[in-house]
Structures are given as structure tokens and as C-alpha cells.
Chain A
């Protein structure tokens, strides 16, 4: 299917050396982006919860790459510049029409369809990084936005993040299809061109050279400035205490009295009403007598109610507020808890070092803080 070159095509052909089109940065950008998107997609769609850090770091790296690409799009090599692949509507439509006839006109850099894809990919990638940051800050109380974003906004952006991720997969499929079609119809192996940087053909009158050292220095200076400003903003954002996790004074009586038979359940894991009921019925506490003297009982009861789930904005507190109607005192009976742990088998809870569903701290190393970070999940082997 390779289209034969005709003499009047007026196409310069330098089969021996090739024409420099994709400079080193563009190639680095393309292939490292591919690797990072694979890592992010794998950890996001298939990975275990405790791999979240890999996902987050892939996201940060993708964000950095996109910023560098945007800068290079203004100061970089001729075919890296956005101005070289902004096409009018007519140009794009006529390209598509020709493409459908099987005779796409030749372009040295991106063709109009490819250009659209590049802009769309950059847009969706930026959207993914930004929505990921909002999700991380709002839902997980982590990252630079932890102090700013409430849970419900983070959760909403989570939906958007997932939608964009699915969209990205779809676009990658279309991108690969486009590359295959263009390579076959146009007689230029685009994958090899993205590896070597060289194309065999170019249209006359196109300046085909890599950027000079000066352009690289300008780009580094701009990226450095953006980086410094970003790091400064990040540092000052990091000083804001996460709104979802108010500072809680430790209660000695609770820690010792409620920690004798099991992990002392963090107050954010049940609503105030449940705590009140639970503390009123200690003489018959899940099949045991856990009674306390009246003074201690009152103290712990009011402390638990004061710091109950209503007063936290974590993922656990937001969801565990909705208790089971039949067993309002059991955290492990709440619909959300059951759904979240549906994949953890019965045999796992029965392991010697875990013992029961209620032994949160056996698997959640940060259970004492009430955070329940994904990264702190660690299911013991035995």
C-alpha cells in the first residue's frame, strides 16, 4: 500500500542521512510520556491500593513533562513549535477528505489530524494531572491541595479523573491507529521517525533543523522559573493543615480502657449517635462485659462524641457516618466498610496476626491517626 513517489511531487528525498524533524527533547518527551502513562494506567486501573505512590509519582512526572512540552512548543525546534501545526478548519477538513480517499497530503511535521490529536492529548493529560491533584487533596488528604480541598469536591473530581483516564485510553488507541494508517499510506515509518528523529521526506521550503543551543537555554530558564515558583507555592501550601483532619487531643482513659481488648477504634469511625449508644451499653458489649466506672464512662463517652465521624472530613469518616441499620454499633457492618473490604477473603481476616475484621490496625498501619491512607495498607502474610 506504500504510495510511490512521483517526480512532480517536488519532494526532497534524503534517503541516506534523513531530514531532522523531531529533536531530542520531542523524542525524549514522547517515549518517557508513553512509559509514564503506562505506569499510571496500570497502577490506576489494576494496581493494589498500596501502590498509590507509584501512581502519584507518575502523575507528577507527567505534569512536569507536559509543562516542559508547552514551553518547548513556543521556543523549540521548528517542528516542535505549536505554530508549525496550527491548521485552519478548511485545511483540516480537506486533509480528512483526502485521507478518506486514501491519499493524505504529505506534511513534514504533524498533519492536521495528528496535530488535533497532539493538542487533545496535552489537554486531557493536563486535566488528568490537575483532577488527580484535587482528588488526592480532597479525598486522601495528601499532596499540595490537602489543606484546601474538602472531601466532596475531591470525590467529584475523582469521577472526572476516571472519565478522563478512560477517554485517554480511547485516544491512545486512535493515536496508534492514526500512526499505522499514516505510515502505510504515506510511505514514512512514523515510529522509526520518532525514534531517530529523522524523516525521509519533507516538503520544500520547510526549515528542517533542530533548535540551537540558545533555544534550549531559554527553555531551561523558563522551566526553571516555573519550577521555582511551583516549588515555592507547594511549600506554602504544605504548611496548611489538612482541613479534614482536625488536631485531636489524646484521651488517656479512652486509649487504655478501649485498647485493652482490641485496637482502640478512632473516634472518626462512627457517628456520635453510635458512640453514645455503645457507651450506654458497655455491660453487654458484643457478647462481653466491658463495663467501666461511671466517671470514666462519661468522660470517654463525651470525648468520643465530640470527635465523632461528623467532625472529620476524611474518606473513612465521610463514608462510615452511614451506619448499618441493624447493627449501628459495628463499624464492620456498615455498607461502605463491607463493600470496601469485599475483596479481602474470610481466610485473610482469620490469619493469626489479624484474627478478626475489627483488627483494623493489623492491616492499616496508620489506623491510630484515623487517616487510613492507601499507602499504609499492609496485609500480613500469616
Chain B
């Protein structure tokens, strides 16, 4: 009986810790970007980046909204048909918490949409916007 309580307690602990850990991962990423950008982030600019139709990227992906849907609160869809969980932190709590994942997708998606890598300022703005939602 007692033994079965241990995993229960551990999983309870894990459940309370996961969002906290996710939060700390996110803070670390933002601090790093902040240091590189040297300027305060703005949710407004993040929103503009997210909503705009860009030139210079690949023709099939003119905007972040092509895949992430028009609202950060809604699920998106890849061009191949797979669901993408909402981008807003309020909807998907573990967003922007794994530095490698964040770096990988910014690299890919900015190249696809803008035809270049995003600047640290753009990345910070984007995450700030998603945290405000």
C-alpha cells in the first residue's frame, strides 16, 4: 500500500514542477535574447511579425499564420495536414521552454517565411506577444 503512494507522490510533484520548469526555461531563453537584443521587447511588434504577410521567403509560406492560424489561441495546421497546438502560452503551457526546440523552429520558420533568420529582437517580441495571450 505504502509503496504505491511513492509514485503517486512523485507524479504529483512532477505535475506541480513541470509548468514551473517550463516557466524557468522560458525565462532563461528570454534573458539570453534580451542580452543579445539590448532593447526592451514589445508584444505589439511581436503581433505585427506574426500577422504580417512577408516577402522574401518561400512562396508557399508567406506568413506565420499560414501554419499557426490567425489566432495564437487556436490550433494551427502544417501544410502536410498535421495539427499544431496553439502558440499562446495560456493554451499550451510548455511553449518556448526548450532552448534547442525554440532555436530550431525560429531558424526554420523564419527562413521559410522571411527568407532569413530572425533577429534576437524579433524572437523576443514574438515570445513576449505569445506570453501576453
Contacts and interface: CB of A to CB of B under 8 A. Distances in A.
B97 interface: no
User: Among A288, A292, A354, A362, which residue has the most Cβ atoms of chain B within 10 A?
Assistant: A288
B16 to A, nearest CB: 26
Interface string A267-290: 000000000000000011011111
Contacts of B108: 288-291
B82 A289 contact: no
A287 B58 contact: yes
Nearest to B108: A289
B60 interface: yes
Contacts of B42: none
A246 interface: no
A289 B78 contact: no
Contacts of A284: 58
Contact of B80 (A283, A291, A358): A358
Interface string B80-108: 11100000000000000000000010011
Nearest to B58: A287
Contacts of B80: 261-263, 355-356, 358-359
Nearest to A261: B78
B59 A359 contact: no
A288 B82 contact: no
Interface string B106-132: 011101100000000000000000000
A283 B111 contact: yes
Interface in A244-278: 260-263
Closest 5 CB pairs of A and B: A355-B81, A262-B80, A289-B111, A287-B60, A289-B108
Interface of B: 58-61, 77-82, 104, 107-109, 111-112
25 contacts: A260-B82, A261-B78, A261-B79, A261-B80, A261-B82, A262-B78, A262-B81, A262-B82, A287-B60, A287-B61, A287-B112, A288-B58, A288-B60, A288-B61, A289-B107, A289-B108, A290-B108, A291-B108, A292-B104, A293-B104, A355-B81, A356-B81, A358-B80, A359-B80, A362-B81
